A and B are shown apart, each in its own frame.
Chain A
């Protein structure tokens, strides 16, 4: 890694850490119902919302009610999004006249956005109307993120309340997350992006006349679709000359802001944040990169503030950072080192004043290997999944890092809310074993960890590896699954693994090589995304309910402190070992062996 690489990572993290406390404290105030400036402005609107929806904002819900409200809300949103896509042809705001989305794809997309995954088997600019993008996807971007944060709030209440039967009000938590946190941040980021050149318009796509017309050869086909052959058996072609180009635009800035802030990741365009209209400049790139990690990192402070012990928050933030820094270092390092086989071909891959150097395949020249690899690690360590480069083209180890970040459970900052509650599940497992080791019934924040919590925490921790492994196995074992693979050798296996890792973790980023828009991937993918989201949320809420009903044991010298360096290191060890034990074999068959073979000069055709 070059010095620039090191500095870039450090500057990025410094800015993140400067924002953690102010934003984290603000979010705590919002969720605790304290008066902020915004409450005075938006409060009447919030109360009006509850009134027309017939919601009693004072009603405290037991965990079961909370869960049901959450599921009903999500399913209703999913069906609405499905309907919107299917009916977009007859609905307004469709200047390009997009037809209805294929049922299987519409189902996959609806599930994908309802679960905060934003896995995209469609190309935005070629499939969806502006209405679908705005009223469908963008709305889901807001709500799914707010739901994730709401679950964390319920969990925090479970941890802090004593002998309580309820864990808060789902509607209030969700509405507050949208109105007071996601909305203002999104407006700010959208304005910044629009300033940097991201379009925000409802007009139709533009047509530009090419300065240099291009031409290409297209094979001729007969009426039955078979290629027409010439006398020598070669397919006959026809030369097509291209003189103009359609330029896709739309209400982009508003969607990009929330896709980054809400750890959603679903781009307006197919190329996501690699597209110049989604991410035109290095400055927009920095703003978007920061937006990915802003809420996940700040919410850790919120957690500490709300459990009335900010040290707990800082300790977890430290554990996350301990995992993040080496991962970013490895990815940036390997990408800057470039492809070892190119060296023997005499290709200059060294960074210099004239070129960024390193592995530039699948990367934008605006960003180069450092900003691309840093983005790749950030987008997968959180549950974002937007991309500004093609992960498929990374060197094997650098491409493995995003997978590892997801395999750890997307808790290295993690998704908005989701990362933190998954982290708490891991903390529960770590505190359980450590608690036994100090000779007491394990407890965390004064709450005893007993059979029920262990059952639920075990489900939260194990369900992700289970669906990723089984999903990948299903794809590897079936012809339909193998059909999507576009690369030979172990890299093809990495593509399968990446796809299910991303969907199972509700990340949504893609190892671009895989062709995912087939019934197999659409349907299995939807199931995987659904399980990955709700087999974690429901047990987490169950933990919240069960912990809330318990007393709080006052700390003593015999209590295991969970804010110390020792506990942080232990937690990191638990995270890494759990991840390694679940995924070392698959990684060995994918990126690890690929890198070893690459080093040995073996390639696959």
Chain B
């Protein structure tokens, strides 16, 4: 996001604005038509309204209880609603600010619409808002791309910082996996002919804005299920409180003393009992979850996807780029049958001097580092090729590359290719070659055989370098019950060796797109949820099938459309973080639900003795907290109930602490903290508030 880059002063000002807006919004949301969407808080609002009416009645001198008592209960009930609204408004506000920045980037541009899909065709100038799917436009250096589309002609560097926050330009070209362009990004050099793939208002940035603003935010499946439970609790407590009135009247009758419980006390009791803590923070938690994704530069196209990420059982990871560094590196020179190792290294280096592939460069580097060989010092640079050399580049037919120098034919390449080449020259294959090649293959490496003329000198061991720390990462995943599967085009032998080194649970070798799709379906039919990343067009079917599909932003349009998340950083390892965010989201909801209900125990012990103090003073035996007066006890419980919402706003926005561990361990920790803590905290809190009320001498 471009909003990541901003000056501290600017950020502070924005922070203040965020708060101001959130505070204003939390009052605006008191509108019952809005409040009704959150049933738990709607009940609180009704309770607030009711006690306010009772307060007015008390002011008029016909109150059921002293006006100051009713008044303070009413005020704190209103605060309860406002605090919950504030949490939601604050969570939404953070997204809104980000959306604002995006909206800034999106502006109407004059586009050059081509009548025929080729560069030289006649162009007409139209506003970008008039472009429709299928139109073809020409964009030249310095111009903004008017809409999402696919490059059909040309190659250009494009500044995508408006979307990704990444200032380094990226290359976009027709064909291949880098053909997708996003509206509002800017072409820096050259030109592109683009076929528009999104109507105005439906483009990537528009979707991002809508998502971030929460305008299209639908409740996720787990949120709906939890809401049902919360509504159930609310109905139960509604009945508990409503029936308490006839019980109280009956009790006054049989005890022959006291007055029935007041409506104010019942409203206070109800609000304290219903799960206002989780009810008030639930939507803030959901919004904050999406927000945390955005902070990590992942755009989730639905909240459902974020939630599903927490359920993922199987991660399909591409070997290249995710598990290994992406390029093989030379790690060892193995001379065969008494060949001098220096001879081999020198020859190998010569063969690689002109080889610009990462593998070739790594051979030169290894030669330099291990054998202090600095190439032939002919020419300007230390590794410059000797004069008179003819380089032979790699070709798919010969599967070799090398150099012809001073009548010597130096080649390196796959074992089979070199064997054929040497035999063709009349040479013999040394007995030591086959075991050396085998050994390398078995350990997951790629053997490159080096030959000079008709003699085989030795083998270069090219190794896939597994990323540092990735093994530990997989161990963590295993601990939380997630299986990792490596997808690679390598042969099974090589794949098995790398899989073992990286510590993945399984691998799919020589994988075709069909294989991937089949593998995903297989896991899913076994009841598992599968996550994968992809960027190419041929990944699209598998992405569409996977439950959580993260497309790289650098990927093709079909891949981006098939996915339900887009990683703006195009970092395949991000999938692991995505899973963690999903889990954290659910954990936060579960923890606060437990906390909310656990709180009720203490509230009962505060309110029940107070509510029936006039009828049955003996019930004060239940007043464990030794609260000062019945009115103070009830007020303290209501105040605690309101303040706890505010106190937990940071937690609900940040999410509960996440540590990878087995389910049993996570449950134990969360139960101790939010369950046991949830029982104890209000005893302490309510007592404290009571002490303060007495100290302030409010009543």
Contact = CB atoms under 8 A, between A and B. Distances in A.
Interface string A409-443: 00000000000000000000100111111111110
A451 B228 contact: yes
Nearest to B525: A551
Contacts of A585: 240, 244, 247, 604, 608
A514 interface: no
B229 A429 contact: yes
Nearest to B231: A458
A556 interface: yes
B226 interface: yes
A301 B567 CA distance: 50
A567 B667 CA distance: 9
Contacts of A570: 667, 671, 675
A573 interface: yes
B586 A596 contact: no
A214 B222 CA distance: 72
A441 B586 contact: yes
Interface in A538-595: 551-554, 556-561, 564, 566-567, 570, 573, 577, 580-582, 584-586, 588-589, 592-593
Contacts of B534: none
B13 interface: no
Given A558-B480, A560-B663, A585-B244, A446 B527 contact: yes
Contact of A589 (B479, B612, B621): B612
Interface stretch (B162-170, B381-389, B595-603): B595-603
A489 B254 contact: yes
B225 interface: yes
Nearest to A446: B527
Contacts of A559: 481, 663
Given A437-B670, A437-B671, A458 B232 contact: yes
Interface stretch (B43-51, B110-118, B147-155, B305-313): B305-313
Interface string B224-244: 111011011001110110111
Contact of B310 (A432, A440, A455): A440
Interface residues of A, number: 70
A580 B528 CA distance: 38
A466 B236 contact: yes
B321 interface: no
A437 B591 contact: yes
A472 B225 contact: no
Interface in B15-53: none
B106 to A, nearest CB: 35
B583 interface: yes
A476 to B, nearest CB: 4
B250 interface: yes
A561 B664 contact: yes
A560 B243 CA distance: 38
Interface in A459-508: 459, 461-462, 465-466, 469-470, 472-474, 476-477, 482, 488-490, 492-493, 496
Identify which of B311, B480, B584 gathers the most chain A CB atoms within 10 Å of its CB. Answer: B311
Contacts of A573: 675
B597 A434 contact: no
Given A462-B236, A476-B247, A440 B604 contact: no
B587 interface: yes
Contacts of B600: 577, 581
Interface stretch (A8-16, A65-73, A267-275, A597-605): A597-605
Given A551-B527, A554-B527, A593-B619, A490 B236 contact: no
A450 B311 CA distance: 13
Contacts of B480: 439, 557-558
Interface string B304-326: 00011011010000000000000
A192 interface: no
Contacts of B225: 432, 442, 449-451, 453-454
Contact of B590 (A434, A449, A567, A602): A434
Interface SS, B side: helix
Nearest to A557: B481
Contacts of A446: 527
B372 interface: no
Contact of A436 (B527, B586, B612): B586
Interface SS, A side: helix
Given A472-B247, A490-B254, A454 B667 contact: no
B662 A557 contact: yes
B676 to A, nearest CB: 9
- In this complex, the interface size class of chain B, counting residues with CB under 8 Å from chain A, is 35 or more
A160 to B, nearest CB: 13
A461 B481 contact: no
B62 to A, nearest CB: 24
B434 interface: no
Nearest to A449: B225
Contacts of A488: 254
B576 to A, nearest CB: 14
B666 A553 contact: no
B421 interface: no
Interface string B555-598: 00000000000000000000000000011111101110110011
A476 B583 contact: no
Given A436-B593, A465-B236, A596-B618, A553 B246 contact: no
B600 to A, nearest CB: 5
B394 interface: no
A433 B228 CA distance: 12
B249 A439 contact: no
Contacts of B248: 589
Nearest to B621: A596
Contact of B619 (A462, A580, A588, A602): A588
Nearest to A556: B481
B215 interface: no
Given A489-B255, A556-B483, A438 B608 contact: no
A458 B667 contact: no
A553 B666 CA distance: 20
B243 A469 contact: yes
Contacts of B226: 432, 436, 454
B601 A433 contact: no
B221 interface: yes
Contacts of B608: 584-585, 588
B258 to A, nearest CB: 12
A556 B664 CA distance: 11
A473 B236 contact: no
A560 B621 CA distance: 40
B221 A586 contact: no
B273 interface: yes
Nearest to B269: A585
Contacts of A554: 313, 526-528
Contacts of B244: 585-586
A584 B607 CA distance: 11
A451 B221 CA distance: 7
B587 A438 contact: yes
Contact of A581 (B228, B604, B670): B604
Nearest to A487: B254
B478 A439 contact: no
Contact of A437 (B229, B246, B666): B666
Identify which of A473, A482, A493 gathers the most chain B CB atoms within 10 Å of its CB. Answer: A473
Closest 6 CB pairs of A and B: A558-B481, A436-B590, A439-B583, A556-B481, A437-B590, A458-B232
Interface of B: 221-222, 224-226, 228-229, 231-232, 235-237, 239-240, 242-244, 246-251, 254-255, 273, 307-308, 310-311, 313, 478-483, 525-528, 582-587, 589-591, 593-594, 597-598, 600-601, 604, 608, 612, 616, 618-619, 621-622, 658, 662-664, 666-668, 670-671, 674-675
Given A582-B236, A589-B612, 17 more contacts: A429-B229, A432-B229, A434-B667, A437-B587, A437-B666, A438-B587, A441-B586, A466-B235, A466-B236, A493-B250, A557-B480, A557-B663, A558-B662, A573-B675, A577-B601, A581-B236, A588-B608
5 contacts: A436-B591, A437-B674, A438-B663, A476-B247, A489-B255
